Amino acid sequence: MMNEDELAKLGITLKPGRKGPNDKIIYYHEKPITMKELGELYALICKNEDELYPKPRFKGSDMVSEFLNDVKKEGGVTSEIKKKYKLS
């Protein structure tokens, strides 16, 4: 997982939430990100991947889901994940 300095370079900051001592609100350029917005962004990315890499020849949006599941499992974008998905 990225540290706070690395996140800040991307315009992402974390601030304490209200739901408990470990709750964090994630901000992107000083605007809190909602689950609704995250869902809409995910849908747009999936649609784009399906257009660029249509099934059955390619994985399309299934690759996005696999990537996010790998990131969830590992707790961040590891060097192994970068290699697997050919990311820089």
What confidence tens digit (pLDDT) does each residue in 12-53 have? 999 999 999 999 999 999 999 999 999 999 999 999 999 999
**Pair 27, 42 in one domain:** no
pLDDT value of position 88: 86
**Pair 55, 39 in one domain:** yes
| Cut 0.95: pTM above it | no
Query: Which residue is it, tokens 């790998």?
Result: 70
What is the total count of domains within the chain? 2
In the chain, the N- to C-terminal Cα span, in Å, equals 15
Instruction: Compute the half-sphere exposure of residue 35: CA atoms within 13 Å on the CB side of its CA.
Output: 0
**Pair 1, 21 in one domain:** yes
Q: How far apart are CA 83 and CA 38, in angstroms?
A: 25
In tens, the pLDDT along 59-80 reads: 999 999 999 999 999 999 999 9
**Pair 24, 61 in one domain:** no
**Pair 45, 86 in one domain:** yes
Residue 60, classed as helix, strand or coil, is coil
DSSP conformational letter for 38: H
Q: Is the pLDDT of residue 11 over 90?
A: yes
Q: Position 26: which residue type?
A: I
**Pair 39, 19 in one domain:** no
**Pair 52, 27 in one domain:** no
**Pair 39, 54 in one domain:** yes
Q: Is the pLDDT of residue 1 over 90?
A: no
88: domain range?
34-88
